[in-house]
A and B are shown apart, each in its own frame.
Chain A
């Protein structure tokens, strides 16, 4: 991976390490300690930290330092950077705030640091960022509340706090991450640099972006058009407070957000409106491939089937009729009151055999390219066994499958975990399955 010293350092120096509870310096160290790396604590006010020697300056360390993480007050940061340059560290992450985001003085400070590091050819992450996390190599160079599971999602965010919530939120979820980057003020590496890194990362199957502002829109567009990995993005900040003197209709209609949204579309990036949507879409894009055109739905509850159908139509997806052949195949296994159509309502008392027969029939229909299986928990439903049958079908047919196993009871959760660990995304609300399918459809339309 490019920028190996940032994303897989062998030795890390934490400048501003401290044992003080609830501090950024301590959080950084505790996260870093989870990986098996050589860590060096730099704190001139201590002789010892975390049971090891504490150094006054980076230059006091005799070993080579791949990555230096700087979490010191802003006015000390410049001299620390000078030390890092003298020491010839491999890369620098500046966690500290008080730079271009703060005031003019901070902007100058940032500008100077940025120039010096560029001259020394030392890559810079931040300043004013949460840090970076790379589960596959057990690297957590951030002060996030813990480390997320390893997986195939990558997240590049212009908000550090959102990353915090996402890391925490992921503890209850079945998805994991390959790379998480808090962009910060981007005085060195920029958002598009990280996008390139994620695109080249063999573990990354989908790139998620939280964006507040892009300075060089053209470069952004160019890079994102080239990137092969699917990208899903959410834009923070859609309303413009004031519009300057406008002399034309186009001037008034072409607001910053409208143009940005169109540019995302132009670049083949799928735009979503919430973090929940972002992960809904990312799960499907990361775990499955294949073309989506017309969708088949199997459900044991009519209401849920209707809700899903509405949501699919809303996303311009269509449900074809069941063919005679399909009906012939499944007829015998169905309840006499089954819906004989698509959505295929196999009635509330459906057991795994009926589920399997229905799903198999629907997914093998030639003009059905994707299957969604809804389960509403009823007295006789067997969620885990249903899940196993669905996973079996996924291995047999190569078409995309998503599930809507509704509810959150123990049995349902167990089944959902089984599904998702086997690459089948589950949505607890029928509506949530629609956008991901549209995203998958668009992905292969490019």
Chain B
């Protein structure tokens, strides 16, 4: 069962996992209102438990700089079928990572960390640990990925707050273990010097 928006947010809150400012809206007016209140740039994307790869559907629009663009974006996205609404979210810049969880038939809940983006399944730069775990294992996961240099201010990119990333991994491991999640994607998780932001969530129980 793929969790809908509200249930996802509840689960994350229960485990102390923060999201960047995010709103699920049903009307253009609401969208623009929220966009204004958050401050641009923002991201607009469809919320749907039917679509796995929204990028391919044109279901994600980034770099929305003002109300006009936001209105247009809303209209465009509303045309897509089988959605429960449009998500408006503050746009965050930083290093793109993926954090996930899966129930393995032998080992039970396992947490994954990887360098993200849509090419994660091509590069497969990921590490795993069996959940639940604490800080030391989370640190090992970070050391094991090839892209770890990206977290250290690579080519003008931000120096990521690793402690917050470690904290996110530990909390995700607890969520995966306690809720017996079948599959979970936090993709992307955007990390910069201020914080680590779960920008998108998919949970299958």
Contacts and interface: CB of A to CB of B under 8 A. Distances in A.
Contact of B2 (A247, A253, A256): A247
16 contacts: A214-B106, A217-B104, A217-B108, A218-B107, A221-B107, A247-B52, A247-B202, A248-B100, A250-B183, A254-B100, A254-B104, A254-B126, A256-B106, A258-B128, A259-B128, A259-B130
A259 B104 contact: yes
A250 B184 contact: yes
A249 B121 contact: yes
A276 interface: no
B135 to A, nearest CB: 14
A266 B120 contact: no
Contacts of A253: 100, 112, 114, 120-121, 124, 126
Contact of B187 (A213, A215, A249): A249
Nearest to B203: A248
Nearest to B106: A217
Overall SS of chain A's interface: helix
B130 A221 contact: yes
A251 B106 CA distance: 14
Interface in B80-111: 98, 100-102, 104-108, 110
Nearest to B125: A253
Given A263-B130, A266-B130, A266-B137, A248 B106 contact: no
A418 interface: no
Interface residues on A, range: 20 to 34
A314 interface: no
B106 A260 contact: yes
Given A221-B107, A266-B137, A251 B102 contact: yes
Contacts of B129: 262, 266
Contacts of A258: 126, 128
Contacts of A251: 100, 102, 183, 204
Given A250-B101, A259-B104, A260-B106, A218 B202 contact: no
A252 B121 contact: yes
Interface string A256-276: 101110110110000000000
Interface in A350-382: none
B185 interface: yes
B106 A249 contact: no
Contacts of A325: none
Contact of A262 (B105, B110, B114): B110
Interface string B162-196: 00000000000000000000011101000000000
B104 A247 contact: no
A254 B110 contact: yes
A259 B105 CA distance: 10
Contacts of B2: 247
A324 interface: no
Nearest to B102: A254
Contacts of B204: 247-248, 251
A246 interface: yes
A215 B121 contact: no
Q: Which of B98, B130, B137 has the most CB of A within 10 A?
A: B130
Nearest to B128: A262
A52 interface: no
B127 interface: yes
Given A247-B204, A248-B204, A218 B130 contact: yes
Given A218-B130, A254-B128, 9 more contacts: A213-B106, A214-B106, A218-B108, A221-B107, A248-B183, A250-B98, A251-B100, A251-B204, A256-B105
Q: Which 10 A-B pairs have the closest CB atoms?
A: A250-B100, A217-B107, A217-B106, A262-B128, A251-B183, A248-B183, A254-B102, A248-B185, A259-B104, A250-B112
A250 B204 CA distance: 11
A265 B143 CA distance: 13
Contacts of B98: 249-250
Contacts of B105: 256
